[in-house]
């Protein structure tokens, strides 16, 4: 068995629960905490070490909870604190860790602090918790600088002052309903200390930190040097709005709070950051030994289906992380990205199953890599992206603010199918009229968990078998990898004393790097052959054939 039980996070497999789409216990068409609790045995059976819950705090849901109006409560949509405590009790009993999603860069425009700022005068203490500034140009009618918001449009909105006149502007790097907090104001940090302790006292095992390269802005809020580049991408490229040096002090402090709790009971708490920065070196700075434990490594997720591209990002991740004290946190899917089955499909190959075969292979690859892995709900079912949602059901603010369907995020957030032949597929509590908050396509029937569990060839069994082996094999989890010399288009590596993983990125079969029958493979795999779009694991004492 693994040595690192006390440092569980270093090679943990965490399942991301997008609460509103997981399981609905009340029949209102929206998933909730009681639904998550009911699903815990399913997740335990799958074999994950823990769950990360998307934000369930009181929120007007302009960005599905990433607009928090109260950091220390549960939105009635999802339950209440008592329900949260029951969830914690069950999770503890089952040995499933629980991470919460914390959103420190911005709050909701309905947060009492922002409401107070709106009715307070320019220069007031209430406005100093945010970034309020006078506009430029005649009558201050132009935004204070040229920054773009990540979800389209300018990063500034103008308020109307109490006397009815057009007033100051406030900064929001996402939507206008998500005003950015001013972390140069010590009150903000103090508030988040309270929030961390509130949830740590309720027993949580750590936090996924939203927009962890945000928080601080350049103190003078100067113009961005390349506003066109900022507008073109959803990546954090504006060097004045992201990745300011002061943010590292926050992570050092939060780490010390976690260590304090560990000192009390020996249980390690985890901080895993959503760190979008431009270079691998910058990324590594966030996971120095006294900062975040881990930061998501998104380059695997954005790599095209290509052996060289995968090898490059994996090698870079291993190099960057070396010496930081962290381990790589691998991700193939999350609630912001097109699902792998669809992403890896190619135009003109619909129905051929190519995307699904590649997604299965990628899963085995990810589970064999050194470090931790995150699975996004539905990934274990092989759910495809729902690409044809009609405009009138789309809820992603990116669609509303850009008028474009490009890169919208609703298609990966459609509620999970659990059973049956028609929507709601067991997602809601069985009330006939309850409609899932996003419509589920009829073909979701094929992916329902009851069918997946009953079919040993399903994605579910592949993930479950991979997780089981990973938990038992000393070669997997934390450590290093050694690349094998393989044919072009094939990636192969050895873990420990002879666990070989190989992936054939091409479509034609190739000789397998190990002669015997694989321990596990993502598709049918005769001894000695590695079919196209397939990954396999072998135990071998011949590590570089």
Residues near ligand GLC (CB under 6 A) are 63, 66, 103, 174, 210-211, 274, 335-336
Q: Identify the active-site residue in 134, 246, 259, 260.
A: 260
Nearest Cα neighbor of 75 from 90, 55, 46 is: 55
- Within 10 angstroms of residue 159's Cβ, the number of other Cβ atoms is 16
Judged by beta carbon, residue 151 or residue 459, the one nearer ligand GLC is: 151
210 is known as an active-site residue: yes
The CA distances from residue 507 to 205, 342, 489, 499, 513, in Å, are 42, 17, 9, 24, 17
Tell me how far, at minimum, the Cβ of 186 lies from ligand GLC, in Å: 23
Handedness of CA 334, 337, 339, 344 (dihedral sign): negative
**Which helix (H) or strand (E) is 357 found in, with range?**
helix 354-368
Tell me how far, at minimum, the Cβ of 385 lies from ligand GLC, in Å: 16
Burial class for 164, CB neighbours closer than 10 Å (0-12, 13-18, 19+): exposed
Tell me how far, at minimum, the Cβ of 177 lies from ligand GLC, in Å: 11
Tell me how far, at minimum, the Cβ of 492 lies from ligand GLC, in Å: 33
Judged by beta carbon, residue 63 or residue 380, the one nearer ligand GLC is: 63
Find the residue with minimal CB distance to ligand GLC: 66
Measured CA to CA, the distance from residue 342 to residue 245 in angstroms comes to 38
67 is known as an active-site residue: no
**Which helix (H) or strand (E) is 494 found in, with range?**
strand 490-495
Q: Who's near 230: CB < 8 A, 6+ residues apart? A: 147, 148, 224, 237, 238, 241
Judged by beta carbon, residue 401 or residue 435, the one nearer ligand GLC is: 401
Judged by beta carbon, residue 80 or residue 282, the one nearer ligand GLC is: 282
Phi, psi of 85 (to 5 degrees): -65, -40
Tell me how far, at minimum, the Cβ of 16 lies from ligand GLC, in Å: 10
Q: Who's near 12: CB < 8 A, 6+ residues apart? A: 49, 50, 97, 270, 372
Measured CA to CA, the distance from residue 305 to residue 299 in angstroms comes to 12
Tell me how far, at minimum, the Cβ of 151 lies from ligand GLC, in Å: 7
Judged by beta carbon, residue 66 or residue 344, the one nearer ligand GLC is: 66
Measured CA to CA, the distance from residue 129 to residue 114 in angstroms comes to 8
Judged by beta carbon, residue 103 or residue 520, the one nearer ligand GLC is: 103
Q: Identify the active-site residue in 11, 24, 205, 210.
A: 210
Strand partners, 13: 373
Would you name the residues annotated as active-site residues?
Answer: 210, 260
């Amino acid at each position: 068995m693994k040595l690192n039980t006390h440092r569980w996070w270093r090679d943990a497999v965490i399942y991301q629960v997008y609460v509103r789409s997981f399981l609905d216990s009340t029949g209102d068409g929206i998933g909730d905490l009681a639904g998550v609790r009911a699903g815990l045995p399913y997740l335990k059976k799958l074999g994950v070490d823990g769950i990360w819950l998307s934000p369930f705090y009181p929120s007007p849901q302009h960005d599905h909870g990433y607009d928090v109006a109260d950091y220390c409560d549960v939105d009635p949509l999802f339950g209440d604190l008592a329900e949260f405590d029951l969830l914690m009790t069950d999770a503890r009993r089952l040995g499933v860790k629980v991470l919460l999603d914390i959103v420190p860069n911005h709050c909701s425009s309905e947060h009492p602090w922002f409401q107070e700022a709106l009715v307070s005068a320019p220069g007031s203490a209430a406005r100093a918790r945010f970034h309020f500034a006078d506009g430029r140009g005649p009558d201050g009618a132009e935004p204070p600088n040229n920054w773009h918001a990540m979800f389209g449009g300018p990063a500034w909105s103008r308020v109307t002052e109490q006397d009815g006149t057009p007033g100051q502007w406030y900064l929001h790097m996402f939507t206008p309903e998500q005003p950015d907090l001013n972390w140069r104001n010590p009150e903000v940090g103090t508030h988040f200390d309270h929030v961390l302790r509130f949830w740590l006292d309720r027993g949580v095992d750590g936090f996924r930190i939203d927009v962890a390269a945000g928080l601080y802005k350049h103190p003078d809020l100067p113009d961005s040097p390349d506003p066109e580049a900022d507008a073109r991408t959803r990546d954090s490229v504006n060097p004045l709005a992201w990745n300011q040096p002061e943010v590292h002090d926050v992570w050092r402090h939060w780490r010390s709070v976690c260590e304090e709790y560990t000192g009390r009971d020996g249980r390690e708490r985890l901080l895993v950051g959503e760190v979008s920065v431009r270079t691998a070196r910058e990324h590594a700075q966030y996971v120095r030994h006294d900062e975040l434990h881990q930061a998501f490594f998104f380059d695997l997720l954005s790599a095209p289906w290509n052996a060289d591209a995968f090898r490059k990002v994996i090698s870079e991740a291993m190099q960057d992380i070396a010496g930081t004290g962290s381990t790589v946190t691998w991700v193939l899917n999350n609630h912001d990205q097109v699902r792998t089955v669809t992403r890896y499909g190619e135009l003109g190959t619909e129905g051929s199953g190519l995307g699904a075969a590649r997604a299965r292979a990628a899963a085995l690859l990810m589970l064999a890599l050194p470090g931790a892995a995150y699975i996004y709900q539905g990934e274990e079912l092989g759910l495809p992206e729902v690409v044809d949602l009609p405009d009138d059901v789309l809820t992603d603010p990116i669609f509303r603010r850009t008028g474009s369907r490009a890169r919208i995020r609703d298609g990966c957030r459609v509620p999970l199918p659990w059973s049956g032949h028609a929507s709601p597929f067991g997602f809601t509590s069985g009330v006939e009229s309850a409609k899932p908050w996003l419509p589920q396509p009829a073909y979701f029937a094929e992916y329902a968990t009851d069918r997946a569990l009953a079919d040993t060839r399903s994605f579910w069994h592949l993930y479950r078998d991979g997780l089981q082996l990973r938990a038992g094999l000393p070669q997997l989890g934390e450590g290093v990898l050694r690349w094998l010399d393989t044919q072009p288009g094939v990636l192969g590596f050895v873990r420990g004393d002879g666990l070989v993983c190989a992936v054939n990125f091409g479509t034609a079969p190739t000789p397998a790097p190990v002669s015997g029958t694989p321990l596990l493979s993502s598709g049918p795999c005769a001894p000695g052959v590695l079919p196209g779009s397939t990954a396999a694991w072998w135990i071998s004492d011949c590590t570089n054939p």
